[in-house]
Amino acid sequence: MTTSQLAYIHSALQVYTYESLTSSPLHSLFSHSHCRGCTDVLCCVIFVIVILGYIVLGTVAWLHGDPRKVVYPTDSYGQFCGQQGTPNANKAILFYFNILQCANPTVLINLQCPTTQLCVSKCPDRFATYIDMQYNYRRNKSYWDYYKLFCKPGFNNPDKVPLNDIFKVNVLFVILQRCFPDFITRNGTLTVANKTSFKDGHGKIRSVVDLRDAANGITSLLDAKEVGVKIFEDYASSWFWILIGLVISMLVSLIFILLLRFTAGVLFWMVIFGVIAAVGYGIWHCYWEYSSLKGKPDSDITISDIGFQTDFRVYLQLSQTWLIFMISLAVIEAIIILVLIFLRNRVRIAIALLKEGSKAIGCIMSTLFYPIITFLLLALCIAYWAVTAVFLASSGDAVYKVMSTLPDCKYTNLTCDPETFSQSNVTKLCPGSQCTFAFYGGESLYHRYIFVLQLCNLLVFLWLVNFTIALGQCTLAGAFASYYWALRKPADIPPCPLASSFGRALRYHTGSLAFGALILSIVQFIRIILEYLDHKLKGAHNAFTRFLLCCLKCCFWCLEHFIKFMNRNAYIMISIYGKNFCASARDAFFLLMRNVMRVAVLDKVTDFLLFLGKLLISGSVGESTFSSVAYSQVPSLNYYWVPLLTVIFGSYMIAHGFFNVYAMCVDTLFLCFLLDLEKNDGSATRPYYMGSSLRAILNKKNKRPEEKKKRRKHKKEQPNKRH
C-alpha cells in the first residue's frame, strides 16, 4: 500500500468519525467548552446567595444561641445544673419539689413544671414530706442533715417554711438528668419503695397511681432506658459479627450487580413462570373447593345474604366465595399471559438493558462508590441543619414568670423580675407566690422571628439535600451516557468518565440542578406543613376539615413522586445534551410519552429484579450472621434480634445504595436507547450506538462505510500481490 493510499484512508476515517460524533450526543459529552454553556444562571446566582445567607443565619444563631439551654436541665433560678464555675458545678441533676404538679407528661420532658426545681448532686432515696421531716427533726436534730441537701439555697431553718415550699421526697432515680419516681410492679400492684400510698404534704393520703398519672409516660421512658442499656451491651458483644455481615453484604451486592448480565433473563423468566404456575394451582384449588361445596347444604347462600362477618372462615364455607376467587385468578392469569405474548419484545428489551447496565458498571466501577460522596454531603447538610436548629431554639434570655398556688391569683404566668420581685405587691396580693424561671426567649426583632427563621432553616435544608441528590444523579447519568454513546465499547469511553461528569455538572449545570431541587423542596415543605397541621388537628371534630386535609396530603404526595420521576429523567437529559432544566424536562417527558409501554415494562422489570436482589441479600446475610452469632463463642445476648435486625437493615441499605446506582444506569441507558432509535438509522454517518444484543432484538444493523469496505478489499488483495 502506497503512502498516498494510507493518507486517503486516514482522512476518510477522520471525516467519518467527525460526522458520526457531531451528529450524536457523544460530541456534547466530549467537547465541553464548545458545546456546553452554563444553564439556568439566574437560579444558580440565587442558590449561591441563599447558601451565603444560610451561612449568615448559622453564624447569627451561633452568636445568640446556647445549646446548654436545650441539653442541660435548668432550675427555678435559670441556672444550669452541672455548669462549671457556678454553685451548681457538682449538682448535675434536677429535682422537682412536688412532682404531682406535673400533671402533663410533656411538661416533664420539656423541662418545665409549676413547682420549685433545684439542682442536686443525687436524687433522694427516702419517701417523705416536709411535714414528716419537720416532725422527725424535733425528735432528732441529725435528721436534718440529709434533707437540707434538697432545700433552696439559703434555707437553713427547718422549723419555718412558706406554704409553697412544702415538698414531697420520693424514692427516685435519674433519667435525662432528672429525678423521676422509681415505679415497680410487685404481684400486679404498682409501688414506690414498697408502698402503695403516700402523704401529699397537705395531710391527704394519695395513691401511687396518682403519682404515676402525674408522671404519665415516664414509665415508658424508664423501660426504654433499661432496654437501651441491654441493646448497648448486645452491640458491644456482637459488633464484630455485625461489621463482618455488612462487609459481606457489600461484596454480595457488587457481585449480584455484575452477575445480572448473565442471570437477569433467567431470574425474570423463572419468577414469571413460577407466578403463572402458582396462579394456575390457585385456579385448580378454587375449582376443587367449589366442586366439593356445591352439593353441601347451606353452601349455596350468597355473600350478600349473610352480610358482613368478622370471622372470615364463614365465607370459606360458601361456594360463591370460591367461584369469585377462581374467576379473579383466571382473569389475572389471562392478563399475565396476554402481556407476555403481546409485550414479549419489550420484556426482552428490558432484560437486555439490564444486562447492558451491568456491563456499563463493569466498565466504570468507580460509579459504585459515588454514593459515599453523596452520603458525606448529606451528612454535612443534616449536621449543619441540626446544629443551626438547636442554636436557634436556644436563642434568647431567661424569662421569669409568677408562680402561685392560689387559683384566683391574677398575676399568675405574668413576666416578673426575680431581683425586684420581693419588693413588689404580688407577694402581698398572692401570698406564697414566687418568681421562677419559665423558658428562654426575648422581645427583640430577632427573637420574634425565631419561628420564621426555623422555617427558613428547614426549607434551605431540603433544598440542599435535594440538590445533593440531583448532583449525584446527574453525575452518574453523565458517566453512563458516555458509555452508551461510545461506538466501540470500552475503547471509545473517555478517560475518568465519572470525574469528568462531576466537573460538567458543577461547572455548567449547578443552576439547573438547583432549579429542579427547589421545585421538589417546595412541595416537600408544603407536605411537612400539612403533616404538622394534621397532627395539631387530630382532636378536631370537623369532618370536612379532616377530609380536606387528607385530600391535600394525598395530592401533594402524588405530586412529589411525579416531580421526583421527572427530575430524574430531566437530569439525564441535562447530562447528555447540556440544555436547561425546563427544556430537558420537556424533552424527557415527551420522549417517555412516545414510548410509554416500554417505560412501564422497563420500570416494573427493573423494580422487580432489584427488589428481589435486596430481599435476597439482606435475608441471606442476616440469617448467616445470626447463625454465626448464635453458634459462636459470643457471650449470651439479651436480645438476639439486635444484631439480626441491624445486619438486615444495614445490608438492605447497602444493597439499596448499590442498586440505586444500577437503577440510575438502567434509566440512563434506556433514555439513550430511545434517543438512539429516534435519531439514528444505522447509516455510516448515523450509526446505532446500542449494543449488539439490543440490535439483534430489534433487527437493526449498522451499515459499514465505503472506506472500510475498500480497506478490507485492499487487505485481501495484498497477499496475492506479494506472491
Query: What is the per-residue pLDDT across 119-137, written as a single tens digit (0 to 9) for each?
Result: 887 777 665 566 666 666 6
SS3 label, residue 441: strand
Report the run of H or E that residue 197 belongs to, with start and end. Answer: strand 197-199
Q: Is pLDDT of 355 > 70?
A: yes
Helix/strand/coil (H, E, C) string of 410-424? CCCCCEECCCCHHHC
Mean pLDDT to the nearest integer, 4-23: 41
Q: Hey, what amino acid is at 690?
A: M
Inter-CA distances, 102 with 96, 116, 197, 418, Å: 9, 11, 18, 23
Tell me whether residue 703 is exposed, middle or buried, using C-beta atoms within 10 angstroms of its C-beta: 0 to 12, 13 to 18, 19 or more. Answer: middle
What values do phi and psi take at 430, rounded to 5? -125, 80
Question: Residue 594 and residue 591: Cα distance in Å, rounded?
Answer: 5
Q: Is the pLDDT reported for residue 112 higher than 60? A: no
* 477 or 609: which leads in pLDDT: 477
Residue type present at position 533:
L
DSSP string, 239-295: HHHHHHHHHHHHHHHHHHHHHHHHHHHHHHHHHHHHHHHHHHHHHHHHHHHHHHHTT
Q: How far apart are CA 682 and CA 620, in angstroms?
A: 46
More confident: 199 or 166: 199
Contact 470, 569 (CB under 8 A): no
More reliable by pLDDT, 64 or 184: 64
Span 427-464, pLDDT tens digits:
777 876 777 766 666 666 777 788 888 899 999 999 99
Position 573 scores a pLDDT of 93
213 confidence band (pLDDT: 50, 70, 90)? low
pLDDT tens sequence across 484-543: 888 877 777 888 889 999 999 999 999 999 999 999 999 999 999 988 888 777 766 677
Region 573-594: mean pLDDT is 91
* Of 301-305, 408-412, 483-487, 693-697, the least confident: 301-305
R_g of the chain, CA atoms, integer Å: 36
User: Is the predicted pLDDT of residue 261 greater than 50, yes or no?
Assistant: yes
The per-residue pLDDT for 231 is: 72
- Whether residue 563 contacts residue 517, with contact meaning beta carbons closer than 8 Å, is answered with no
Q: Name residue 4's amino acid.
A: S
* Cα–Cα nearest to 117, from 82, 69, 152: 152
Query: E strand or H helix at 478, and its extent?
Result: helix 450-484
pLDDT of residue 18: 37
Q: How many CB atoms lie within 10 A of CB 297?
A: 6
- Determine the pLDDT at residue 347: 78
The grid coordinates of residue 461 equal 435544608
Alpha-carbon distances, residue 420 vs 225, 417, 605 (angstroms) = 42, 6, 75
- In this prediction, residue 150 carries a pLDDT of 67
From the list 259, 213, 356, 311, the residue with the least C-alpha distance to 616 is: 259
pLDDT (0 to 100) of residue 152: 63
Q: Where are the domains of the chain?
A: 33-64+388-392+447-594, 93-203, 238-363+595-679, 397-441
pLDDT for res 163:
37
Stretch 21-43: mean pLDDT: 62
Predicted TM-score (pTM) of the model is 0.72
Name the H helices within 294-404: 303-306, 319-342, 344-363, 370-393
Write down the pLDDT at residue 141.
64
Nearest to 130 by CA among 100, 101, 168: 168
| Confidence at residue 48, expressed as pLDDT on a 0 to 100 scale | 95
Residue pLDDT, tens place only, 237-251: 777 777 888 888 888
User: How confident is the model over 219-229, as a mean pLDDT?
Assistant: 57
- The rounded Cα 450 to chain-centroid distance in angstroms is 26
| 22-26, 47-51, 378-382, 480-484: range with lowest mean pLDDT | 22-26
Give the DSSP per-residue string, 496-543.
SHHHHHHHHHHHH-HHHHHHHHHHHHHHHHHHHHHHHHHHHTTT---H
